Amino acid sequence: MELIVFAAASLTETLTAIGEIYSAENPGVTFSFNFDSSGTLKTQIQEGADCDLFISAGQKQMNQLDSTASADVNTEGLDFVDSDSRVDLLENKVVLCVPENGDKGIDSFDSLAEHLKAEDILFCMGNSDVPVGQYTQKILAYYALDEEALAAAGVITYGSNVKEVTTQITEASVDAGVVYCTDAYSAGLTPVDEATKEMCGQVIYPAAVLKAAPNAEAAREFLAYLQTDRAATVFESVGFTAL
């Protein structure tokens, strides 16, 4: 039996590893993982893609599929998520990274803001429909920076998911970028600063079985496994906090 798991791109390494452990302990269970931005995954689910379990990097994308969520967020009244199965699985941190030999002196969000105001760097962030981009937008707003004006001035470039942003930083095609601490860890980047709750709120990853899941019971069992100490060890090894 193949479990179909849609998960945020930032979970690629950890979920792949946990899936291998789980398959070894549960012969007959294999996985088809679809890793992408939570916004893209949400759209695919909405359009009818087969999916057993959805793990989002933000509450917004899960809420948009959950009939028990506020109508302010679930504006279309969508009903794809088994809300009884929904849990807050993990917490991540939003961090600022620069290329290994970055020479702009960007060592904090404060200094990033100064450089953005001076328009003398190239900064990479996630698109507005992906959680890492939405968290970054909150940070820009915290510093009263005008994203549209900066993008028009050629100071901001975008990635369609967090992995794309991370790649632009590691390849030094930008002077700085905002990613999750787990992606920085996986890419061998050392963050220069960590965003506070005041800047962008908490970064919580909700998980839920879908109402139309082809393998709902098996998906519930795997979701329960993701909440065990054994799974937590894998998640925490790259910087996640298990909730």
What is the bridge-based pairing of β-strands 94-97 and 193-194? antiparallel
Residue 120, judged by CB atoms within 10 A of its CB (0-12, 13-18, 19+), counts as exposed
Tokens matching residue 96: 């600022």
User: Of 126, 132, 113, which Cα lies nearest the Cα of 181?
Assistant: 132
Q: In what order do the strands lie in the sheet with 87-92?
A: 30-36, 2-8, 53-55, 203-209, 87-92, 241-242
Q: Is 10 annotated as a binding residue?
A: yes
Q: Is 173 annotated as a binding residue?
A: no
Q: Is 108 annotated as a binding residue?
A: no
Q: How far apart are CA 176 and CA 115, in angstroms?
A: 10
Query: Could you tell me how far CA 206 lies from the centroid of its own chain?
Result: 11
Residue 171, judged by CB atoms within 10 A of its CB (0-12, 13-18, 19+), counts as exposed
Q: Is 38 annotated as a binding residue?
A: yes
Q: Which residues are annotated as a binding site?
A: 10, 38, 162, 180
Q: Which residues are annotated as a binding site for molybdate?
A: 10, 38, 162, 180
